[in-house]
Amino acid sequence: MIDLHTHTFFSDGELVPSELVRRAQVKGLTGIAITDHADRSNIDFIIPRIVALAGDLNAAMNIRVIPGIELTHLPPSLIEETSERARALGAEIVVVHGETLVEPVAPGTNHAALRAGVDVLAHPGLITEADVAMAKEKGIYLEITARKGHCLANGHVARLAKKIGASMLINTDAHGPGDLIDGAQALRVVLGAGLAEEDFQTMQKNAAAFLK
């Protein structure tokens, strides 16, 4: 299992990064991205620290740690420039907090994230067919999420992604130790979204592309 969307106490998570990674390792994960919530106020603070720690942990542990960021509740007009800044700071994966059904994310966030060419559009809610087609065209991954609330639109995302041929990932959006899941539970989440076991295997191959 590879999880490309997690949070630590650098944003609203419960654990220091090292503990999150250790708990993920015990769960049997082979890779984890740390993608704390950020906007333009804290991006310069978070990313360099996660990049430095990832280097240390990758040298000491047999789980691949990927430094990243989740751009969260940014006005859509600021997403592209902030994404570019995140990459310049060393983020190896850029996630955007999509238009989930349970938070007042600004309309147009999904489209702006896709236009910006981010890596993952997290919990994109009632994403449109046109935006799913853009995700396919740009090779951007749409997230099937295990997180309570955000998962309400999993079936919609899965149906359109399969119809149009967009690529997907299964992530936890973990904020605490109880949010981490193993491969068996991840498979159940995928099946619950109306997908099949082969879709889960494809998602894991998609995630493995980030394990450089």
pLDDT tens digits, residue range 92-150?
A: 999 999 999 999 999 999 999 999 999 999 999 999 999 999 999 999 999 999 999 99
- pLDDT per position as a tens digit, 178-198: 999 999 999 999 999 999 999
Please name the fold of domain 2-208. TIM Barrel (3.20.20)
pLDDT at 39: 98
User: pLDDT confidence of 68, banded at 50, 70, 90?
Assistant: very high
Contact by Cβ (8 Å): 166, 143: no
To which H or E segment does residue 53 belong?
helix 43-60
List phi, psi (to 5°) of 66: -110, 120
CB 116 within 8 A of CB 143: no
Q: Is the pLDDT of residue 90 over 80?
A: yes
Question: Model's pTM, two decimal places?
Answer: 0.97
pLDDT band at 212 (very low <50, low <70, confident <90, very high): confident
Alpha-carbon span 46 to 30, nearest angstrom = 23
Query: What pLDDT is recorded for position 182?
Result: 97
CB 121 within 8 A of CB 98: yes
pLDDT attached to residue 63:
98
Average pLDDT over residues 13-22: 98
The helix (run of H) or strand (run of E) holding residue 37 is strand 37-38
